[in-house]
Amino acid sequence: MDCYYTNKDSHRPQLLLGMYRIKPIYHGDMIIKKPECVYQMKNLLCVEKKKETDNSANQVAALEQRQDAILRRLNELKGTLDQLTGKYQMPPVQSSSTCSTTQPIVRSTTTSPAVSSVHIKSVLGKGIVDIVIHADPNQPPLSLFVLYEIMKSKYQVLATSYIHSSVINADKKLTTVFPNATASRRSQNQLALSFIWKKVNTDPELVVNPGHQIPIKGEANIARYLNRVIDPDFDNRDIVTATQVDEWLDIAQLQLIHGNSKERAAAVRNLNARLGRNDWLVGSSLSLADIVTWSAVHHAQQADSAPANVKKWLKACAKNANFKLAESLLP
């Protein structure tokens, strides 16, 4: 037993020296025999750091190899794409996507491109741009053919017409809608406009990039798109005029094409009132509003029973040379 005494000066307990010590009860090198009658478990506190390090290194190496393989494959695909782009003179692709589609059986007619000696600094970029329009053969989007005629005056356009295999007994007008049957090289054109006549749900659809673009639906919306291709500065030139044109396009799409009998009658009355004070719907000359509304009036079957001002306006539109192709598709 240890003894203590008190130091009066420091008031600290001091351990007396020279007392005996107890021998250690357990020795560090003691070997304890384990019983062999039960199963053994691994030591839960023992961490095999070496094996974990090896596994992590193997996983990182495998990931690096996989990444290298993907990068090599992407480089190969990019090289192939560059070769095809140069061969077919296509515009450069900013992004890629892989999709699998089933090609329908189609019959086609092709026209020669518009001949123009004027070099146009196109907003379309390099190569040819494909614009594909799906439309119901029973309701051809007449305004788009008017815009096609206008487009030919600015761009070299290769126009084609396709009949989808699901369409039976198609009107011959659709197969010969583009009268010139002379084929031409794609590389000689700036735009490739393709009409595919097929059964669509409600409205015609426009597709430029199937892999990355949601289709543009509705004749008025497609006309908006084509008009921006023809005139890229349309919205910036006069915002008031652009807004008025959009208003008439909405009336044509929502009331004349998709409206009921009352809505169509109201739209025709509104149209007649406007044309009673003006020769054209917007401004002092033919505009996109006149082109789309003219098509919508025929779709709504309101042309024959139209009021006097509307009939006068329809005749004025028909006198324009750009309406000749669209008029050939009227029943």
- Provide mean pLDDT across the span 205-227: 87
pLDDT, tens digit (0-9, with 9 covering 90-100), for 80-92: 888 777 665 555 5
What pLDDT does residue 103 have? 40
**Is the per-residue pLDDT at 292 higher than 90?**
yes
Q: Which amino acid is at 262?
A: K
Kindly report the pTM of this predicted structure. Answer: 0.63
- Provide mean pLDDT across the span 194-208: 87
CA distance 310 to 163: 34
- Provide mean pLDDT across the span 178-189: 66
What pLDDT does residue 18 have? 61
**Is the per-residue pLDDT at 1 higher than 80?**
no
How much of the chain exceeds pLDDT 90, in percent?
40
19-33, 57-71, 269-283, 312-326: lowest mean pLDDT where? 19-33
Q: Parallel, antiparallel, or unpaired: how do β-strands 216-217 and 205-207 relate? A: antiparallel
Measured from the Cβ of residue 199, the count of other Cβ atoms closer than 10 Å reads 12
- The boundaries of every CATH 1.20.1050.130 domain in the chain are 106-115+122-230, 238-327
What pLDDT does residue 281 have? 96
Is 297:256 a contact under the CB 8 Å cutoff?
A: yes
* Chain mean pLDDT for the chain: 79
CATH of 238-327, one of 1.20.1050.130, 2.40.160.10, 1.20.1740.10, 1.10.10.10: 1.20.1050.130
17-31, 246-260, 275-289: lowest mean pLDDT where? 17-31
CATH architecture of the region 106-115+122-230? Up-down Bundle (1.20)
- Provide mean pLDDT across the span 38-67: 74
Q: Which amino acid is at 119?
A: H
Q: Which band of pLDDT confidence, cut at 50, 70 and 90, is reported for residue 112?
A: very low
pLDDT, tens digit (0-9, with 9 covering 90-100), for 298-321: 999 999 999 999 999 999 999 999
